[in-house]
Chain A
């Protein structure tokens, strides 16, 4: 069963305290969630943490859960910044709400879409998940801008990322739509790609806004 939001926040704080600040336990005062909150009991009942003398300690199972929770939080931050272009406090706040939705494989999809990032926007490490190890083993590039393709490489269009509506419409008129196959036939001096039976030339400004996966 899924943990409550508060329980996830506590796990994150505990993970940061133990793994990144090298403390032995977490003081509930630093979490903003008082010790009488049911979330603590929830975590203790699931044998993820232990509470002794008002301090919170990891149990072995909890450590892994904490790792995954912090991973989801930082992935959410990346998503806010890289894709949705929401930055600053607003981004942090939205990431906090968003992370709780990244369960049951959604985190894998987002991680893949973001191309298995290793650090959050604040420069802290994102613990790698299964998908990251898998991608590394396969040498999979993941979702990259078209500019990263080699000429001759074929892939699928993942998404278009642009603030400019007209650019978006132009690309769509060329058949650049998520899900369509695309072949990059040349990368210099201009990018030439083929969608269906049409060929187009674009400059690097447009090419870097088309995101593709192999």
Chain B
């Protein structure tokens, strides 16, 4: 999702590359500004904390070439979360020529505290007061001129989503590097200033940030900064550390609070007369909608409406029904495939090679047909739905609605994003689990995604498959839900670590811009397609190899006892072998078996449940390994496989015993 780094330190001409870094709280429009400056695209959303990676892009500003760096949201220079650390790394080690601090005009008071910190750190800051349009709509007035005077840095009002203020920002970036900077200091209380200067007095090393700001961070016992200073100071560190320890101990009761209060009072002083709010709060229509969405009485019906129209009607009926019919049946099966078969047979005389392209598991007749004809429409409609919802700001509201429920699974409402996204693509969702606070939550979310959340492609195929046998869909749904709840509750009990806490900013609800939704869907599709298409082709090749070497038959035979134990005919082994490449590939395999009339309702349901639970696709497994490491990924993989077949076994016995679906 990130724009790939061309992060050389020097440009082609050997000059130093000019760099501008975007920093600020989550959800203030940094990524929109990044896109506007670079013309590249990073995912923009109305959901705090979506940029989990640093994105880099190039821009030409007033004839000069710049590298633009977009950072994850941070609340303070003193970092708490992983994303904040990532963002601060840029400031600590990359010495950007300009730092754009982007903030939300409506929350000037709260967010200016970080501007103060950036100025204090002696960074080349330009303040972008963004989202001015919404602030104006709420009746707020902000005197930017006065703010600029008081801060001593350039201040620009903007509404980047509406392309307002972009030229001024470009001009400010350009002129900033040519003008000398005035050092501005915002003094704290006399006592704190005393402590700071005592610490500063003992620092000898060279730093990119001001010693003053590092001293404050040392007093805040920031581990990373302490480590850096220890490294930089060498022999003199012992004395410095002793002083910091002494001061930090004296202030142990309330240093963070004192500092925040002092910064808050500095800010209050600065915005006095700058920020004028209306006598009466203006209640906008979006606020009213927001209120409905968070009250259980109206929020739950709203959720059901969203799911019904968004998922069932749009993704299910339209995407998986109408479009798949059109693409798969009418275009692939009726036109492209017959034509390709003839063409390939004419060009290639060897039957074995013909098989590779247009045979039973042929790259074209199977791989491309599955990828483009079945999976693509489903995933595309899902991503449109998801991107639209994301941009309205609905997800944070959904998160708070389900928080109490999710706590039973050891997760917080925050996990609602990866969980919902998982219904689109589990691989992408696994990547997004890193926005969760604690390792414990991440592991639980990864496990649940791997196990019980079917991705849209698979979901589409399975629903199409099971809807032919009455009751089968219900049994499948109840099974998955049961297993989700059971494993979630167990994981919450078994996994060590503290209970997570939930806090989330609620961005205002907005009507999404169509262009943004489409671009976002497009980039997600592109990512998805580049990831899956090769896998489908490889799968086709491997299956073809398996078939011609006879290995495939051996594997199917080897799996026959396993299949038999869960009451399935040996042909289903093929679907499971498919399933290892991609779960939906496997499901599509079941689809073929069912059309051939090889499975009855019970077998179909057992196969669908087992396959849904069964090992995530290769891509998801690789992402799991990347995000969680070999041990956790391997453990989850093993657990999921055993549980999948175990559940299949139990379900089969249960269905046989009770005669449901017989």
**Partner-B contacts on A (CB < 8 A):** 160, 165-175, 177-180, 185-186, 188-190, 192, 195-203, 205-206
Report if B141 contacts A (CB, 8 A): no
Is B261 a contact of A174 with CB atoms below 8 Å?
no
Alpha-carbon distance A169/B264, docked complex (angstroms) = 14
Chain A contact residues: over half helix, strand or loop, or mixed? mixed
Report if B501 contacts A (CB, 8 A): yes
Chain A residues whose C-beta falls within 8 Å of the C-beta of B256 in the assembled complex = 165, 168-169, 172
Residue of A nearest to B84 (CB): A173
Chain B residues whose C-beta falls within 8 Å of the C-beta of A170 in the assembled complex = 75, 80, 503
Report if B504 contacts A (CB, 8 A): yes
Is A195 a contact of B110 with CB atoms below 8 Å?
yes
Chain A residues whose C-beta falls within 8 Å of the C-beta of B225 in the assembled complex = none
Is B294 a contact of A192 with CB atoms below 8 Å?
yes
Alpha-carbon distance A192/B135, docked complex (angstroms) = 21
Q: Mark B393-415, 1 if CB is under 8 A from A, else 0.
A: 00010011111100100001100
Smallest beta-carbon distance B521→chain A, Å: 27
Q: Which of A160, A166, A167, A192 contacts B506 (CB 8 A)?
A: A192
Residue of A nearest to B76 (CB): A173
Smallest beta-carbon distance B257→chain A, Å: 7
Report if B505 contacts A (CB, 8 A): yes
Q: List 8 A-B contacts (CB under 8 A).
A: A169-B80, A175-B110, A177-B257, A186-B294, A189-B402, A197-B135, A197-B138, A201-B403
Q: Which of B261, B296, B501 contacts A203 (CB 8 A)?
A: B501
Alpha-carbon distance A172/B260, docked complex (angstroms) = 7
Is A202 a contact of B80 with CB atoms below 8 Å?
no
Q: Which of A180, A186, A197 contacts B106 (CB 8 A)?
A: A197
Smallest beta-carbon distance B413→chain A, Å: 7
In order of increasing CB-CB distance, the 3 nearest A-B pairs are A201-B400, A173-B75, A197-B106
Q: Which of A166, A199, A203 contacts B412 (CB 8 A)?
A: A203
Chain B residues whose C-beta falls within 8 Å of the C-beta of A202 in the assembled complex = 501-504
Is B502 a contact of A201 with CB atoms below 8 Å?
yes
**Interface size, chain B (Cβ < 8 Å):** 40
> In the complex, given contacts A165-B256, A201-B399, what are 6 additional A-B residue pairs having Cβ atoms less than 8 angstroms apart?
A186-B291, A186-B295, A189-B296, A197-B106, A201-B504, A203-B403
Report if B198 contacts A (CB, 8 A): no
Is A174 a contact of B80 with CB atoms below 8 Å?
no
Report if B78 contacts A (CB, 8 A): yes
Report if B107 contacts A (CB, 8 A): yes
Is B294 a contact of A166 with CB atoms below 8 Å?
no
Alpha-carbon distance A190/B296, docked complex (angstroms) = 10
Chain B residues whose C-beta falls within 8 Å of the C-beta of A195 in the assembled complex = 110
Do A201 and B506 contact each other (CB < 8 Å), given the known contacts A173-B76, A195-B110? yes
Residue of A nearest to B290 (CB): A199
Is B107 a contact of A198 with CB atoms below 8 Å?
yes
Is B501 a contact of A206 with CB atoms below 8 Å?
yes
Residue of A nearest to B277 (CB): A197
Alpha-carbon distance A201/B407, docked complex (angstroms) = 15
Residue of A nearest to B260 (CB): A172
Chain B residues whose C-beta falls within 8 Å of the C-beta of A197 in the assembled complex = 106-107, 135, 138, 140, 277
Smallest beta-carbon distance A157→chain B, Å: 11
Interface residues of B in 472-503 (CB under 8 A from A): 499, 501-503
Residue of B nearest to A197 (CB): B106
Chain B residues whose C-beta falls within 8 Å of the C-beta of A167 in the assembled complex = 501
Is A168 a contact of B257 with CB atoms below 8 Å?
yes
Chain A residues whose C-beta falls within 8 Å of the C-beta of B140 in the assembled complex = 197
Report if B109 contacts A (CB, 8 A): yes
Alpha-carbon distance A169/B403, docked complex (angstroms) = 21
Is A201 a contact of B396 with CB atoms below 8 Å?
yes
Chain A residues whose C-beta falls within 8 Å of the C-beta of B76 in the assembled complex = 169, 173
Residue of B nearest to A160 (CB): B257
Smallest beta-carbon distance B61→chain A, Å: 31
Residue of A nearest to B254 (CB): A168
